[in-house]
Amino acid sequence: MKLLGVVMEKVHFTEEKATNLATLYGRALDYRSAHPILGDKAADDAVRRIDYDFSRIGISPDRAVSVVLRAKPIDDWTAEYLRAHPDAIVLHLGCGLDTRFQRLAPPESAHWYDVDYPEVIELREKLYDKAPNQTHIGTSVTDFAWLDQVPSDRTALIVAEGLTMYLKPETGTELFRRLAAKFPSGELICDLFSRMAIKSQKINTPVRRAGATLYWGVDDPRDLEPCGLTLESSLDAAHWATPDVLAKMGPITRFQLRLLKVFPPLARTAHIVRYRF
């Protein structure tokens, strides 16, 4: 199928793979807004090339804010690490259709690995140009054999957004143990859902509509330290937005974020965390 001379890509994702479309669409809606937070043109271009009814996903412009609020601090921490370690290995685990590589434009001295299911990687390669310092690995992140494809002679940054909650707890902790042991040093940046968020997943519209299942809830980010990690920073959902990001939001969203500060248990249903190893 073609639209205005552009080849449209059909998508038949199910379960957790289908949630990639929700976050991609959220970033595209942010780009189309009057005051974008990420300004992710690559995400908007990708949405326009995918032959899919995005209205099925359950992401409205208001819901899109939560997508970019989560992505922004992860972007900021990733960029900070790359400034300090321009020759780092970056593992983008469960990368989905995320355009973080395009947003951050890492230095050529860094090598970036995008890791996800083969069908997800296949679509990525149709939608996005691959840079010389970028490698795609098509596999489940929990099929640990893929780690043999990655060199271990440099510091590493591991980024896992929207991944941990889809893993079984024993598999997730084993993944992090192997990663921390593989490299001489590095950092892990990821997001975590609490056990309450896992129990209430039926009210998570994109997850429910995708037919996906969430498994792993972590109430205290320090619970992952036995995997060989040391917690450096942790932001609950009430603190994802910096003042400059808040300034771009409408009054309703700012009010909702204030409510999270008034009700800390609600804010603690999700964390963005940064570990060193």
Question: How many CA atoms lie within 13 Å of 33's alpha carbon, on the beta-carbon side?
Answer: 22
Q: Is 15 left (phi over 0), alpha (psi -120 to 50) or beta?
A: left
What does the pLDDT read at residue 15? Answer: 63
The model's pTM: 0.91
Q: What is the b/e burial string over 131-140, where b = at least 16 CB atoms within 10 angstroms of the residue's CB? A: eeebebbbbe
Tens digit of pLDDT per residue, the chain (277 long)?
A: 334 445 577 776 756 777 889 899 999 999 999 999 999 999 999 999 999 888 888 787 877 888 999 999 999 999 999 999 999 999 999 999 999 999 999 999 999 999 999 999 999 999 999 999 999 999 999 999 999 999 999 999 999 999 999 999 999 999 999 999 999 999 999 999 999 999 999 888 778 887 889 999 999 999 999 999 999 999 999 889 888 888 787 777 777 778 788 888 888 999 999 999 9
Structural domains of the chain, with CATH: 66-276 (3.40.50.150)
Place of tokens 């248990």: 265
d(CA 129, CA 127): 7
Distances from the Cα of 181 to the Cαs of 114, 132, 174, 224, in angstroms? 20, 27, 11, 14
Q: Is 263 left (phi over 0), alpha (psi -120 to 50) or beta?
A: beta
Q: For residue 241, which phi and psi values (nearest 5 degrees)?
A: -95, 120
Give the 3-state secondary structure of residue 252: helix
**Cα four-point dihedral sign 176, 177, 181, 182:** negative
What does the pLDDT read at residue 254? Answer: 79
